[in-house]
Amino acid sequence: MEKIITISRQFGSGGRTVGKMVAEKLEIPYYDKELIEKIAEESGYAKEYISEESEYAPGITGFTYGFLGRGSDGLSNADRIWFAQKKVILELAENGPCVIVGRCADYLLKDREDCLNVFIHASTEFRADRIVSQYGETSVHPEKRLKEKDKKRKLNYKYFTEQEWGKMSNYHLSIDSGKLSIEKAVDIIINAAGGNHE
């Protein structure tokens, strides 16, 4: 079976839930927020800073990542976090089967043959309903928030990987969770990864 499953997802598509359920069913570790702790340990930056800032594309948010933010080694904070993230993700993959959500893991692990890269997407209507009902987001203009979040993910991904986030050819499997349901998406991924036995 494919050992490592990476899940990239549009905001509000339920990709995180899908990843968690896949990991539970396959009885393998699930990394999402846990990654931030590990990156914090590795890089020395605060968890909150990593969580908040690393969603943004450097250069977009101004001074934080700009020229003034560079140390004597010529690296920006964003670069240092990126290198720590890379190290953490490569090490986790070495440790054995797991599910990793977000954080450009698909790109970072692209040289591994045993990696299944999945993208979860859904219609704007489905995702707007979901962030209001499930995440408790305000029901005022949820579409705008979806757009903003996905734009940030796209810019961040592009900056570090020079690839296009959400472009079909970068993923082995792309699933519309709105049309097919979260449960069906989980089934399909487990089937694609080779089931829950080696």
Cβ proximity to a copy of itself: between 101 and 175 the closer is 175
Residue numbers at the binding site for a copy of itself (CB under 8 A): 116, 119, 121, 123, 166-169, 171-176, 179-180, 184, 187-188, 191-192
Closest contact distance (angstroms) between CB of 184 and a copy of itself is 7
Cβ proximity to a copy of itself: between 139 and 196 the closer is 196
Closest contact distance (angstroms) between CB of 79 and a copy of itself is 30
Cβ proximity to a copy of itself: between 82 and 171 the closer is 171
Closest contact distance (angstroms) between CB of 8 and a copy of itself is 11
* Total residue length of the chain: 198
Cβ proximity to a copy of itself: between 69 and 166 the closer is 166
Contacts of 8 (CB under 8 A, 6+ apart): 15, 102, 105, 106, 117, 118, 119, 120, 165, 166, 171
> Angle CA(101)–CA(102)–CA(106) in degrees, nearest 5?
95
Closest contact distance (angstroms) between CB of 53 and a copy of itself is 28
Give the CA distances from residue 74 to residues 35, 49, 66, 79, 80, in Å, rounded to whole numbers and listed in that order.
Answer: 25, 20, 11, 9, 10
The DSSP annotation for 12-75 comes to TS-HHHHHHHHHHHHT--EESHHHHHHHHHHH---HHHHHHHTTSPTTTSGGGTSGGG--TTS-
Cβ proximity to a copy of itself: between 25 and 172 the closer is 172
Closest contact distance (angstroms) between CB of 5 and a copy of itself is 13
